[in-house]
Amino acid sequence: MTSSPRTVSILGVTGSVGQSTLSVIEDLRGQGAEIEVAAVTAGGNLPALADACRRLRPKFAAVADPDALAPAREALAGLGVEVGAGLSALEEAGARPSDWIMSAIVGAAGLAPTMAAVRRGAAVALANKECLVCAGPLFIEAAKTHGARLLPVDSEHNAIFQVMTHPDRVEKLTLTASGGPFRSATLEAMGRATPDQACAHPRWSMGRKISVDSATLMNKGLELIEASYLFGFPEEKIDIIVHPESVVHSFVHYVDGSVLAQLGTPDMRIPIAYALSWPDRAPVSTTRLDLATLGALTFEAPDAQRFPALDLCRQALRAGAATTTAVSAANEIAVSAFLDGKIGFLNICRVVEEAMTALDRSDPGLIAKSPTSFDQVAAVDQAARGAAQRIAGRLAAA
C-alpha cells in the first residue's frame, strides 16, 4: 500500500461521508497500510466523535461549539487526543500538517477549515459542495497558488475525474441524475408532496437537506455549478441525463466521438477510496457491480417544466460567481421552509427564483461581481437568505 498517504485528516468525521471515510481507512489499515490520523472534526455529536477517536487515534480533535471544550475533553479522556473547540479549532484541524484531508463538513461551515488545508498545499478530497458552489473561483485560485490538489469526492465529479484522460480533448461532460423520488410523478402529485415523500430517495441514503435537493433536482443543478468550476467548463458544455439505476456516475465526451464513463454501485466508499489512493487504486471491500442481475441501464432527458432548478442553476452560472452563492443560500432557506411544513414542494424553486429577481432589483452590484473574499461570500449569502425568508414567509401566509 505504498501509494496511500501516511498522514490524513477528516473534517466532519461523524457525518455520512466522514463515517464512510473512516471505514475505508480501517479497511486499508486491516490490510497492513500505515495510515496515521492528524486531525478530525465534528459538529456536536460527542459519542460519535469519541468512537471515531478510539478507532482512528488522531492527534487532534475539534468540535464546532466553542462552549463544548470541557464536555469534549471529558468524552475523549484517556485517548491521548488534544482537543479544541470553536471555529478556530476547526480551522486548526484543516491547517495541521497531513498529506491528505477529507472535507466532509456540511454547508458553509466547511469553507474556512477546507481553505486552511488548501493554503498548506495538501491533497484535499472535496465532498463538501459549498466550497465550490459558494466560492468556486476562490478555491480554484487558492489551489493553484498553493499547489494544493483538489480530489473530487461527489460521485459524479469523482467519476469525471477518473476518466479525464485528455482534459484538452474534451467536447462536453454529462452528469447523471437518479431523477429522485418524483421522476415520474405528475406536477399535481409533486404539489402535494410531503417532506417524508421528498426524502425517500430511491437509490442513495443521505441527510434530509440533500435528499430534498435530489427530489427537486437542485442537487444536480448545484453539481453542474460544482463541475463547471472544478473542470473549467461553461454550462452549455455540461449536459444532465436522468439515469434511474445510478450505476453510471457520469460521462466525458471526447473530440473523436469516444465517450468514457465510470460505473459502480451507489456506494460513497468507492469515490472516497479512489480519492484516498489516487493516483493508484487500493483494494477496498465495497459492494461489487453485478451487470447480469441489473439487466438494463436506462437514460432519459430531464423534464425542465417539472424540475426548474436545473435552468435556475444554468442561469446563475451564466450570470456570474456571486449568483451561484445566492442560489445555494436561497435554496437552503426554501428547503428548510418546506421541511418545516411552511411551503409546498413546488414553491422551493419559486422561492429561489423570486429571491434572485428580488436581489437583482434591490442590490444589482452585490451579485454581479465575483466575490474575492469569504467576507464578500458571506454578504451575498446573508442577502440571499434574507430575500428568500421574506418570499417564503409571504408564500406561507398565502
Question: Interface with ligand NAD includes 374 (CB under 6 A)?
Answer: no
Dihedrals φ, ψ of 55, to 5°? -80, -35
Binding residues for Mg ion (CB under 5 A): 154-156
Count of helix runs (H) and strand runs (E) in the chain: 18, 11
Site string for ligand NAD, 225-264 (x = CB under 6 A): ----------------------------------------
Task: With CB under 6 A as the rule, give the number of residues binding ligand NAD.
Answer: 25
Question: Interface with ligand NAD includes 148 (CB under 6 A)?
Answer: no
Site for ligand NAD in 24-63 (CB under 6 A): 42-43, 45
Question: Interface with ligand NAD includes 206 (CB under 6 A)?
Answer: yes
DSSP-derived 3-state class of residue 60: strand
What dihedral angle (degrees, nearest 10) is formed by the CA atoms of 302, 308, 310, 312?
160
Question: Interface with ligand NAD includes 359 (CB under 6 A)?
Answer: no
Q: How far is the CB of 103 from ligand NAD (least distance, A)?
A: 8
> Given the C-alpha cell 456540511, which residue does it identify?
106
Q: How far is the CB of 17 from ligand NAD (least distance, A)?
A: 4
Q: Which of 7, 18, 160, 180 binds ligand NAD (CB under 6 A)?
A: 18
Q: How far is the CB of 93 from Mg ion (least distance, A)?
A: 24
Q: How far is the CB of 214 from Mg ion (least distance, A)?
A: 9
In three-state form (DSSP H/G/I as H, E/B as E, the rest C), the secondary structure along 78-103 is CCCCEEEECHHHHHHHHHCCCCEEEE
Q: How far is the CB of 155 from Mg ion (least distance, A)?
A: 5
d(C-alpha 365, C-alpha 173), whole Å: 32
> Given the C-alpha cell 456506494, which residue does it identify?
267
What DSSP string describes 219-280? Answer: HHHHHHHHHHHHHT--GGGEEEEE-TT--EEEEEEETTS-EEEEE--S-THHHHHHHHHTTS
Q: Which is nearer to ligand NAD, 165 or 287 (CB)?
A: 287
Q: Which helix (H) or strand (E) holds 359?
A: helix 347-362
Q: Which of 4, 7, 17, 358 binds ligand NAD (CB under 6 A)?
A: 17
- With b for 16 or more beta-carbon neighbours within 10 A and e for fewer, the 157-192 pattern comes to bbbbbbbeeeeeebeebbbbbbbbbbbebeeeebee
Q: State the CB neighbour count (10 A cutoff) for residue 207.
A: 12
Please list the residues that pair with 9 across neighbouring strands.
39, 101
Q: How far is the CB of 256 from Mg ion (least distance, A)?
A: 28
Dihedrals φ, ψ of 246, to 5°? 50, 45
Q: Which is nearer to ligand NAD, 271 or 366 (CB)?
A: 271
Q: How far is the CB of 202 from ligand NAD (least distance, A)?
A: 14
Taking the alpha carbons of 175, 180, 184, 186 in that order, is the dihedral positive or negative? negative
Of 125-133, 287-295, 312-320, 343-351, which part binds ligand NAD (CB under 6 A)? 125-133
Q: How far is the CB of 15 from Mg ion (least distance, A)?
A: 15
Question: Interface with ligand NAD includes 15 (CB under 6 A)?
Answer: yes
Q: How far is the CB of 223 from Mg ion (least distance, A)?
A: 5
Question: Interface with ligand NAD includes 269 (CB under 6 A)?
Answer: no
Q: Which of 1, 5, 16, 360 binds ligand NAD (CB under 6 A)?
A: 16
The answer to whether 94 and 100 have CB atoms below 8 angstroms apart is no
Return the C-alpha cell found at 94: 484543516
Question: Interface with ligand NAD includes 154 (CB under 6 A)?
Answer: yes
Question: Interface with ligand NAD includes 10 (CB under 6 A)?
Answer: no
Site for ligand NAD in 82-111 (CB under 6 A): 90, 104-106, 109
Residues that bind ligand NAD (CB under 6 A): 12-18, 42-43, 45, 64, 90, 104-106, 109, 127-129, 154, 204, 206-207, 210, 268
